[in-house]
Amino acid sequence: MALESSTFINGLVASNPTSSDNISDGDNHIRLLKSTVKATFPNVTGAVSGTHTDINSAVTAANAATNANTASTIVKRDGSGNFTAGTVTAALTGNVTGNVTGNVSGSAGTADRWTTARTITLGGDLIGNVSIRGDANVTLNAQVLDNSHNHFISNIGGLQAELDAKSPLSRVGTPVPTGALFTDTNTTYSVGNGGLTEINFTSSLNSKLAGIEAGARGDQTASEIVALAAGCNAGTVDGYNIVFNQSGSASNTIYFRT
């Protein structure tokens, strides 16, 4: 009896059964065909719609796959899981690790932080720095270096007007109320590292200047003030000489200059 023993299709013998076999042996051949087909395609549970040409083309393309950047060829990873490509267009989700070679376009939805944090440092007249890694907002605090630059009065809005209003010169030509020519207040106006100081005569000195008329005005000239002061006792005030002179620095003398 010409009945081969086979498990898969490739073990079948096309010339079996022979013409000399008994007709009853045909049942054995049919059972052999069924068992080898099922063993060869154990997971085929439906119709295979592709033609033999489609199947052959797929097999050819799979066999030609490579990890190189080859046009119109299926990509296959190498032994290390790598492959080379030209332009990759896709929306990326997840973490990207390793080296990316080539042009990549799309969006990395979850890549919300830089691999290496960067530090932003201020220069020039400012100091300050902050580290940023791209996944959160940061605050950069800045400090101006001492003596790093100059400010002019003209650059600060309203400062000149304020200083002019506080200067004694702003009161020139304005009558001073009776008894208010000399007050008991010493006032200092500080600006920057220096200072603008306005010092008024004290009330004790005011009592010594009895020769100056009570209604003296702030627009009087130096010579007029000296003339008024002439009525003071022996030309002195509280032990200080009164002199109308452009120069001089005696410690016991009050100078009226123009």
Distant-in-sequence, close-in-space partners of 113: CB < 8 Å, separation ≥ 6: 133, 134, 135
The model's confidence at residue 198, banded by pLDDT at 50, 70 and 90, is very low
Give the tokens for residue 135. Answer: 């996944």
Phi-psi region of 221 (alpha: psi -120 to 50; beta: other; left: phi over 0): beta
Instruction: Give me the mean pLDDT over the 147-160 stretch.
Output: 80
Domain edges within the chain:
9-40, 51-80, 117-148, 153-256
Instruction: Give me the mean pLDDT over the 214-232 stretch.
Output: 55
Q: pLDDT tens digits, residue range 81-132?
A: 999 988 888 777 777 676 766 666 665 555 678 888 999 999 988 899 999 9
The residue written with tokens 């101006």 in the block is 144
User: For position 115, what pLDDT does the model report?
Assistant: 85
User: For position 43, what pLDDT does the model report?
Assistant: 95
User: For position 114, what pLDDT does the model report?
Assistant: 85
Return the closest-CA partner of residue 226 out of 190, 254, 193: 254
Q: pLDDT tens digits, residue range 155-165?
A: 888 888 888 78
pLDDT beyond 70 at 224: no
Instruction: Give me the mean pLDDT over the 163-173 stretch.
Output: 64
User: How high is the mean pLDDT of the chain?
Assistant: 75
pLDDT beyond 80 at 13: yes
User: For position 210, what pLDDT does the model report?
Assistant: 47
Q: Rank 15-24, 36-45, 140-149 by mean pLDDT and report only the highest.
A: 36-45
The model's confidence at residue 166, banded by pLDDT at 50, 70 and 90, is confident
User: For position 234, what pLDDT does the model report?
Assistant: 46
pLDDT beyond 60 at 56: yes
How far is the C-alpha of 22 from the C-alpha of 25, rounded, in Å?
Answer: 5
How far is the C-alpha of 56 from the C-alpha of 76, rounded, in Å?
Answer: 19
Return the closest-CA partner of residue 97 out of 106, 110, 78: 110
User: For position 200, what pLDDT does the model report?
Assistant: 46
The model's confidence at residue 23, banded by pLDDT at 50, 70 and 90, is confident
pTM for this predicted structure: 0.35
pLDDT beyond 80 at 71: yes
DSSP labels, 103-144: EEES-BTT--S-SS-EEEE--TTEE-EEEE-SSS------EE
